[in-house]
Structure formats: structure tokens, C-alpha cells
Amino acid sequence: MTTIFEYVNDALETLSPAIPFAMKPYVGELPDTFIDYQLVNGSPEQHADNVETGRSYVVQVSIWSVDGLASLPNVDAAMVAAGFQKGTERQLNTDPKTGHFGLAKDYVYFE
């Protein structure tokens, strides 16, 4: 059985090695642009005969860049091609230690 983490890895792998990524937190020396992701929640959506038959997952993918947010990798295309639906997005606080600007994007996957 494929996990939600494998689905996200497979989607983001299409941007790699140009854009490195990891499950949150990104560990090690930070490149100028990188991506980290985390599972926000997984909720049961359908049941039949007391068995779960459908679940939705919300995954937050955060893109970090020292060059600002005007020119970021096309994470939307990678995630949508992998079966995710686009959700909300929001700007993150700039990291005062590294100078990285951040944009968090939510994606929903139904299985």
C-alpha cells in the first residue's frame, strides 16, 4: 500500500535534483531554494459496512528561497500531475537566521 508520504515524494521528485526537498524539517546545510513538506491531517471521508473506504489528506508543501517569492519552482504542476488538488496558500515569516522567504501551499489528496 502506498502512503501519502510516498505520493508526495514521487510528486516532488519531478523537481529534483534542481530543487532539493525533504519531509519537514529540512536538515543540513540549507540551499538557496528548497522545499519541505508535512502532513497536516488525514481524515476519513467514506465508510461502508463499518469499514473506511475513503480518506482525504491535507499536505503542506513549503517553498523557501533567499531570492524572495517572485520566481519559485512550479510545485503546483508537480502536485496536480500526481493527483493532488490545490488548496490554500500563505506567506510564511522570513527566517531571521538564514534569510529564506517562505510560501506554504496546501494540497489535498483523496484515496
Residue 10's H or E segment, with its range, is: helix 4-13
Beta bridge partners of 37: 23, 61
pTM: 0.93
Domains: count for the chain: 1
Inter-residue contact 77 to 36 (CB < 8 Å): no
What per-residue confidence (pLDDT) applies to 58?
A: 98
Q: Whole-angstrom Cα distance, residue 55 to residue 18?
A: 32
How far are the Cα atoms of 48, 98, 104 from residue 93, in angstroms, in the given order? 43, 12, 10
Instruction: Give the CATH number for residue 18.
Output: 3.30.2000.10
Range of the domain at 90: 4-110
Q: What is the pLDDT of residues 41-95, one digit of tens each?
A: 999 999 999 999 899 999 999 999 999 999 999 999 999 999 999 999 999 999 9
